[in-house]
Amino acid sequence: MTEKQLQPIALATLLDQCGPGGPDHPVLLPQSWTQGRTAFGGLSGALAYQAASHIEENLPPLRSAQVAFTGPLFGTLTAETAMLRRGKSTAFVQTEIFGDKGLGLHCNFIFAAARTTEVKTSDIIAPDFPDLPNGMDLHSGPPQFFTSNMEYVGKRIDTSVKTNRLTRWMRLKQRDGLDPMAEILCMCDSLPPSVMGLLDKNAMVSSMNWQINIIAEELTTEEGWWLIDSHTHHADHGASSQYMSIWNSRRELIATAMQSVAYYA
């Protein structure tokens, strides 16, 4: 591992490299954006969105994404996109990302314009909000791990406390020139699977499917801080199901999500 491979590379730089995807826009995965033997899932999702958002001009905002982590992604990454359907106000776009070992990510994105409606409801219980980390002692991960690009207070997970819920303020170190939607997709997956809070020992876990719905119209927060909440509501036969949400500094709900996670314990 060379010093050059460990130099911090901003998410915005990798998104620019990806552009609209295709063989003319390869992305060489930096070691600093990996987790184990694959690319960090939030990075993969952000790259897939980047390519999908450039498939046609004047796409409406992203409303929902379905992400399947089909295999490890490493080496040179290439995004391939297809317009599945374009209607008057909605577009369904498919993105697949290939690495040195073939297909590693399959995504379906739904872009949809806002509509005037008389029906409104919100029935999501907010998590306990710790204080914003302003002025606190911030930590990052090791240079060979994706968390080296992020900041947070303490540990992302404390294995000495058994819990099925993880809640942390997280932010990217380098945020200049970053598409807010790509930032949300990246940060929403920045916590470990919450089933890890129930394990008695280190065990392999692997996200399989991820569904994310964008709730907010404006994706803004103070100094890059997003509160990520992950709650395992069921775990058995080696598969856990977790609910997730991401909130801004004003305690406004930004997105909701759900993941299926395989665990080997």
Q: Give mean pLDDT in consecutive 10-residue pieces for the chain, a chain of 265 residues.
A: 64 97 97 95 98 96 98 97 96 98 98 90 91 90 95 86 93 96 97 90 88 96 97 95 97 97 91
Contact 48, 97 (CB under 8 A): yes
Instruction: Give me the amino acid identity at 135.
Output: G
Residues contacting residue 4 through CB under 8 Å, at least 6 positions apart: none
Q: Which of 205, 210, 201, 255 is nearest to 228 (CA)?
A: 255
Residues 17 and 10 sit within 8 Å (Cβ to Cβ): no
Distance (Å, rounded) from C-alpha 203 to C-alpha 182?
30
Q: What is the pLDDT of residue 195?
A: 93
- End-to-end CA distance of the chain, in Å? 31
The reported pLDDT for the residue numbered 158 is 79
The DSSP letter of residue 135 is: T
Question: Quick one: which of 187, 190, 207 has its CA closest to 263?
Answer: 207
Residue found by looking up tokens 């692997």 in the block:
206
d(CA 56, CA 106): 19
Name the token pair of 149. 């690009």
Q: Tokens standing for 166?
A: 């993880």
d(CA 101, CA 180): 30
Q: Which pLDDT score, from 0 to 100, does residue 155 have?
A: 85
Q: How far is CA 11 from the centre of its chain?
A: 12
Give residue 64's pLDDT: 98
For residue 127 the two structure tokens come to 């998590």
Residues 6+ apart with CB under 8 A from 117: none
Retrieve residue 162's tokens. 């058994």
pLDDT for the residue 3:
47
pTM of the model: 0.94
Q: What pLDDT is stored for residue 1 in this prediction?
A: 44
Q: State the Cα–Cα distance between residues 82 and 126, nearest whole angstrom.
A: 37
Q: Which amino acid makes up residue 188?
A: C
pLDDT at 6: 59
Separation of alpha carbons 119 and 98, rounded Å: 41
